[in-house]
Structure 1
Amino acid sequence: MVKVVFLHPDLGIGGAERLVVDAALALQTKGHQVHIVTSHHDPSHCFPETSSGIIPVTVSGSWLPRSVFGRFLALFAYIRMIWASFYAVFFSQLDADVYFCDQVSMCIPVLGLFGRKPILFYCHFPDLLLSSHRTWLQKAYRAPLDWLEEKTTGLATKTVVNSHFTAGVYQETFKSIRRRPEVLYPSLNFESFDRVSPMTLNQVIEADMDTIDFVFLSINRYERKKNLALAIHSFALLKATLEKPNVHLIMVGGYDERLVENVEYFEELRKISASVNLDDSITFLRSPSDDIKTCLLKNCHTLLYTPANEHFGIVPLEAMYCQLPVIAVNSGGPLETVEDHRTGYLCHPTPEDFSDKMRYLYENRAVAVQMGQRGRERVVQNFSFQSFSNQLDDFVSTLVAN
């Protein structure tokens, strides 16, 4: 048995958090002992495995600010993770054999210098590429943080990434790190989607489902970089071309009222919907429960996935496993998960291209069904939780052995 201590900055609801939870569950199934240390964990806004006690969680540093008037988020994320790493090493008595950290690499030198145990770092995407560098003030603020990110990332014993796309970006960005990261694809825990949903679509949305025969679904955090407005504009264009527009769009997003961008962008999308007269044809949901999300994936007809250059994207896998064809932007992670014209379509990020494929699937239901079936087969063959568990177990066991 190996004791693995995870360090994650904010254990809320998102793709990175889902990956960390799945990694902990995977190592548990292999007989290892796991524990997550985080600076924030809200039992009302988290994955159920962390609130139910299945995965033990310790919060340290929640008293530290996240920002100053909405500014310096990255700096305070670094500070909070440094504090969490000191806690894990000196005060927690967790006695780790391996440390697993992700998102913020500033904890790595603390763990390496004082913890003296191997460190597995999961790089979802270089943070410096996700930050704004437009003005000279932003460049001055980010310069030391970007330098520290590269130097501290290079100190990890082993680095893994979520896709070959991210691996290429990683090497182009962190030029001083010569060791190529290995790819550990995120996975799905099929059991969570195989269970019977206690809810129906009529219970989830207020629209009259008796008058709707095709439902499009968008799932992503309410962040501008996810380009969710593309789904609304594409849907509006589709409706304008149909004689009987008996279609509906459900917009689902991770939402944290502490994050200004979530609040602002949600309202922006609502205004866009109203401006194209789609208030009655679009349902907006914020941070739905797992039961609601599963219900949507099992009862809608097609997933719209709008972010460009997405690092990986777990939602297309969830949709394909639930036999939904996926219409996604032709860049980033979906190039490795969605088979064009077989499990969905890879499109240019334009309403014209998206709406064209949306209309085709709407008018050719048999094709949509076949794509959904092939999508499920692809996920089972290539992205199973068992495959993910075996690969992660091998990484951890090798780190300890060496």
Structure 2
Amino acid sequence: MHVVIVHPEQWNGGSDRCTVALIRHFVSQGHRVTWLTTMIDEYWKNHKFDGVEIREVGLKLHPGDWWSQNVALGWHMVFSNLNPDVAIIDHSASCVPMIKWRFPECKILFYCHFPQQLVTPSRFFLYRWYAKLIGIVEEELFGHIDQIFVNSNFTATQFCKVMPNIDKSKVRVVYPPCDIDWIVSASERPVSRAQRARNNDYTFLSMNRFWPEKRLDIIVEAAAILKRQGYKLHVQLAGSVMPHIPESRIYYELLQKMTEDLDVNDIVEFIPSPTDKVKFELYQKCDTALYTPPNEHFGIVPIEALDQRRPVIVCDSGGPAETVLENVTGTKIAKPCGELLAEAMLFHMNKREWPELDTEEGYAKQRQRLEKEFSTRGFCANIDRAIAEMFGSIDITDEQTTTPAQTTIVTQPVATEVYSKPQQYNKAAHNRRAQA
């Protein structure tokens, strides 16, 4: 087959690794693979994408504006020499009508990380109308897609709520591939905390993009609370700073100012844009991982922490609520709040053992779970089955559509209040946000 993958903005995130997994899989199966993208980040500059034709369509659009970018990539397909049998799209369905019009026999599989209408930021007045337009037409666009994969039960719930007229039989929950052996092949195997030297101070590691919705600010708040109570700890804030996206740089600068204002410079360390080698060295050196975004559609960090045999503290919402086992592989807090996070961090500092992570026998059970639910092999097998069904090669009738119990539709937070003026730390606004 000729497979075209439409994925704008190749950063270093969960969706980007899904793209890499798909490319490798289809190439290994002998298919012709074309990848359309608007940008490939420096992170991947030395990565070898063997066997795939990469068409990087350089566009001077606002980073993160996937709606417009996928429209542009769709137009590129329309006027190109491509003739795809299958198109795999993510981020936005804006290009679907033109692909269906130009290639009526092409089957489309969409991998949904979150409905676009729930993540489009309200940057300014006109952009808000733009976001409302997306909400109006998005359901119609998804109606033309042959198969829809969503990356968690939480995403499935939100998707079906905002697009109730979509045929539910099209929607299936398929967790992203999170096995990372190909990334850390040069690193040592995961080591439990019991097998390595003990840290002088209990070390917490946050591995996340510097982005307002990730709520890294509550980590700084929690560190300040614990320091005032006399506890000794070390907090590492590691993750990508995306220079092309203003919100990322602004938030990074805000966090640095917060550490000064709250007098935690001595215990909070910033590690911007670490390499993969450094990233997993940090996992091995830490005692607990932190993952603070609320209502995250999936969240790859808790799975990486599990793979590296480290407990994790997450918000009890979204994908992490599905993947973290309470008091077995981690701890959940009710909402993103500095006080609640400080309590959970203190609990971890006092908890000596995590048998499912520290012992070989316990970790073997978790490895089985990783390989069953979050492996590249399982992810690609689901892709193959969906494609076979779309072409009528097989009829999958024994799978049930997931109907999650979650009911709340949550739009992602936007850059307002404290984030709008990074040079001014507005404590009152920040407290209001934490309480919300």
Write out per-residue CA displacement over residues 299-341 of structure 1, whole angstroms, 9 at most, x where no aligned residue: 2111111000000111110110110101100000011100111
Shift of 1:153: 2.0
- SS of the aligned residue for 1:131 comes to coil
Match of 2:211 in 1: 223
Aligned match of 2:117: 128
Q: Does the aligned pair in 1 maintain the 2:96–2:145 contact within 8 Å?
A: yes
Matching residue of 1:241: 229
Alignment of 1:102 with 2:101, yes or no, is no
Give unpaired runs (5+ residues) of structure 1.
199-208
1:336-347 correspondence to structure 2 within 5 Å = 336-347=322-333
So what's the TM-score if we normalise by structure 2?
0.79
Q: Mapping of 1:384-399 within 5 angstroms?
A: 384-399=375-390
Deviation, 1:56, is 2.8
Name the amino acid aligned to 1:114.
Answer: R
The equivalent of 2:20 in structure 1 is 21
- What is residue 181 of structure 2 aligned with on the other side? 191
| Aligned-residue offset at 1:192 | 3.0
Output the amino acid matched with 1:283. E
* C-alpha distance in structure 1 between counterparts of 2:139 and 2:381, whole Å: 29
Residue deviations 1:76-132, cap 9 Å, x none?
x433322222323432x4432210000011111111111220000111101111235
Match among 30, 43, 53 for residue 45 of structure 1: 43
- After superposition, where does 1:356-367 map in structure 2 within 5 Å? 356-367=343-354
Cα distance in 2 for partners of 1:26, 1:317 equals: 21
Partner of 2:61: 66
Does residue 88 in structure 1 map to residue 70 in structure 2? Answer: no
For 1:342 and 1:25, the matched residues in 2 are separated by 34
- Partners of 1:323 and 1:229 lie apart in 2 by 25
Distance (whole Å) between structure 1 residues aligned to residue 175 and residue 51 of structure 2:
21
Q: Secondary structure at the match of 2:209?
A: coil
Counterpart CA distance in 2 for 1:217 and 1:160 is 31
3-state SS, counterpart of residue 391 of structure 2? helix
Instruction: Report the aligned-residue RMSD.
Output: 2.6
Residue type of the partner of 1:66? L
- 1:7 equivalent to 2:2? Answer no
Cα deviation code 1:152-192 (max 9, x no counterpart): 12211111100111111001001232335111101223423
Structure 1: how far apart are the matches of 2:28 and 2:204?
A: 35
Given that 2:3 and 2:31 are in contact with CA atoms closer than 8 Å, whether structure 1 keeps it comes out as yes
- Whole-Å separation in 2 of the counterparts to 1:193 and 1:364: 31
Residues 372-381 or 17-26, more deviating:
372-381
Measure how far apart 1:282 and its partner are.
Answer: 1.8
- 1:143 CA drift (Å): 2.6
Match 1:232 to one of 216, 220, 237: 220
Aligned sequence identity (%): 30
Residues 78, 102 of structure 2: 8 Å contact kept? yes
Whether the 8 Å CA contact 1:9–1:104 is kept in 2: the answer is no
Cα deviation per residue 1:232-283 (whole Å; 9 max; x = unaligned)? 212222333345x1x2111112222111001100000111111122222222
Aligned residues: 378
Cα distance in 2, alignment partners of residues 101 and 333 from structure 1:
21
1:32 Cα deviation after fit:
3.6
Partner SS state of residue 303, structure 1: strand
Distance 2:16 2:287 in 1: 27
Letter in 1 for 2:94: M
| SS of the residue 1:78 aligns to | helix
Instruction: Say whether residues 1:165 and 2:150 are aligned partners.
Output: no
Q: Assess, with a 3 A threshold, how the Cα gap between structure 1 residues 277 and 256 changes in structure 2: closer, same or farther.
A: same
Task: Flag structure 2 segments of 5+ consecutive residues without an equivalent.
Answer: 189-196, 394-436
| Letter matched to residue 399 of structure 1 | M
Higher helix content, 1 or 2: 1
Distance in 1 (CA, whole Å) between partners of 2:327 and 2:199 is: 29
1:202 aligned residue: none
Q: CA deviation at 1:358?
A: 1.5
Contact kept, 8 Å, 2:33 with 2:53, in 1: the verdict is: no
Q: Secondary structure at the match of 1:239?
A: helix
* Alignment correspondent of 2:412: none
Farther off after superposition, 335-344 or 280-289: 280-289
Q: CA deviation at 1:195?
A: 2.8
Please, what TM-score do these two structures have when normalized by structure 1? Answer: 0.85
